[in-house]
Amino acid sequence: MVVLILLAGGVFLFRYLAAQRPDLVREDPPPPAPMVRVEKVSAGTHPVIVLGEGTVSPVREIRVVPEVSGKVIWLSESMKDGGSFAQGGLMLTIDPRDYEVAVAQARARLADAKALLQRAKEESEAATQEWREHFSPGPDQTPPSLVARIPQLEAAQAQVEALAADLERAKLNLERTRITAPFAGRVTDKAVDIGQFVAPGQVLAGFFDTSAVEIVVPLEDHELAWFDVPGFTQEGGQGSPALVRATVAGRERTWQGTVSRAQARLDTRSRMVRVVVRVENPYAQKPPAAVGLFASVEIQGKTLPDVAFIPRAALRQGDLVWKVDEESRLRFAPVTVARISDEGVIVTSGVSQGERVVVSLLHGVSDGMLVRVANSNSFEAPAAGGQARMTEE
C-alpha cells in the first residue's frame, strides 16, 4: 500500500514538473564577425624615392682613326679590347720616316725662300736709294713701286709665308704618326696590328670615356614632379641626387649619381621621359660600374612633411581606407593621396599615426560593422632607397 502511494506521488510530481517546463525554441547562433588583417599607420616626414632602371652607357664614345697613311710599327700592350689609357697615352705609332723627310724638305724650301726674300729686300733698298740720288724731286718723295721693286718683294714675302705653312703641315703630319688617347678611356673593337698598312679614316678601334657614365631611365611624366631635372623642370643648377645599384661579381654594388638632364625627345610609343643619371669616376671603384651593366636607380626626390605612409593594399577604390577603431568596428575614411609607389601610398590627410587600416579583402562591407582583428602590424615608411617594413606588435 505504501509502495503504491509512493509510486502515485512520483508520477504526479513528474507530470507537474513537466507541465511547468517552458517550450524549447530553436535559435540560430549569430554569424561570427569577419576576421581582418590590419597594419598600423606610420606618419611623419617622408622622402620621395623615384625608382627606375636602365643600362650603363659611356658619356663619350669615338672611333680611333688615323689622319695619315703608313705602316704600323709599334702598338701599345693596352691596345686591345678592354685595355685602358690615360689621357695623352700613346696607343700606336705609324712609320714616321716619310714624314720626317717631308719636314726636312719643307724646312729647306723655307730657308731658300727666306734667302730670296732677304735678297729682294736689299735690291728694293738699293733701287730706292739710287732713285733718290738721281731722280727724287725732294727728300720726302717715294719712288714708284716698280722702281722700288715692291711687287718682287711682296712675292718673296708671300712665298716665305706659304712655305712656312707647308712646314707646319709637314710637322703636323709627323705628329699624327703618333696616335694618342684624347681622354682617359678604354678600348673596344680593336681592328689593327703591327705591320698593318693603315689609311686616313680607317677605323682602328673603338674608345670610350671612363671619367663618367650615364644611365638613361625612362619615367612617366608625372614622376618628374618629385625631383629636379636641369633644363627640364628647372632652368639650371644641380639635379637631384641618385643612388645606382647593380649586381657585379656576385655582389650588389652602389654608386652615387646625379640627375644631369632629360633627353630631348619623349618616347613616341610609351610617352615616357628619358631622364639621364650621371655617375662620376665609375671605374675608380672595383668592380666598376661597367658600360653595358643593367642597373636600378633610386632618385632622391622631395621631402614631404606631416604625411602618412600606408600599404598599397590599404587603399580602396575612390581613395578610401578602412580603419578599425578601438571597439573593433570598421570605419570608412576618405584620404588625400599624394603619391602611389611600389613601396606604398603617401597620404596627406585622412589617417594619422598609429591608426589601424585593413589590408585584407572583404566582401559586403558596411561602415560600422564589427570585425575581428587577426594581427596588429606596424607599417613603417621605407628609408631612402629601402623597402617598407612590417614589425609585429
- Judge whether residue 384 has pLDDT over 50: no
- Judge whether residue 88 has pLDDT over 70: yes
Cis peptide before 34 (omega within 30 of 0): no
Q: Considering only CA atoms, which of 55, 95, 73 is closest in space to residue 214?
A: 55
> What are the tens digits of pLDDT across the range 316-338?
988 999 999 988 899 999 999 98
- Residue 126 has a pLDDT of 81
- The residue with greater pLDDT, 283 or 22, is 283
> Cell 569577419, residue?
34
Question: What is the rounded average pLDDT for all residues in the chain?
Answer: 87
Q: How far apart are alpha carbons 346 and 44 in whole angstroms?
A: 11
Provide mean pLDDT across the span 326-351: 89
Q: How far apart are alpha carbons 337 and 316 in whole angstroms?
A: 11
Cα 127 to chain centroid distance, Å, stands at 75
- Judge whether residue 19 has pLDDT over 90: no
Phi-psi region of 201 (alpha: psi -120 to 50; beta: other; left: phi over 0): left
Residue 387 — pLDDT band, cuts 50, 70, 90? very low
> What are the tens digits of pLDDT across the range 194-229?
999 999 999 999 999 999 999 999 999 989 999 999
- 382 backbone dihedrals φ, ψ, rounded to 5°: -70, 145
> What are the tens digits of pLDDT across the range 284-312?
988 999 999 999 999 999 988 989 989 99
Phi-psi region of 262 (alpha: psi -120 to 50; beta: other; left: phi over 0): beta
Q: pTM score > 0.75 for this model? A: no
Q: How far apart are alpha carbons 266 and 50 in whole angstroms?
A: 18
Q: How far apart are alpha carbons 44 and 382 in whole angstroms?
A: 12
Residue 381 — pLDDT band, cuts 50, 70, 90? low
SS (H, E, C) the chain: CHHHHHHHHHHHHHHHHHHHCCCCCCCCCCCCCCEECEEECEEEEEEEEEEEEEEEEECCEEEECCCCCEEEEEECCCCCCCCEECCCCEEEEECCHHHHHHHHHHHHHHHHHHHHHHHHHHHHHHHHHHHHHHCCCCCCCCCCCCCCCHHHHHHHHHHHHHHHHHHHHHHHHHHCCEEECCCCEEEECCCCCCCCEECCCCCCEEEEECCEEEEEEEECHHHHHHCCCECCCECCCCCCEEEEEEEECCEEEEEEEEEEEECCCCCCCCCCEEEEEEEECCCCCCCCCCCCCEEEEEEEEEEEEEEEEECHHHCECCCEEEEECCCCEEEEEECEEEEECCCCEEEEECCCCCCEEECCCCCCCCCCCECEECCCEEEECCCCCCCCEEEEC
- The residue with greater pLDDT, 1 or 244, is 244
> What are the tens digits of pLDDT across the range 117-134?
898 888 888 877 777 777
Contact 198, 72 (CB under 8 A): yes
- Judge whether residue 392 has pLDDT over 60: no
249-281: b or e for each residue (b if 16 or more CB lie within 10 Å)?
eeeebebebbbbbbeeeeeeeeebbbbbbbbee
- Residue 235 has a pLDDT of 80
Contact 260, 214 (CB under 8 A): yes
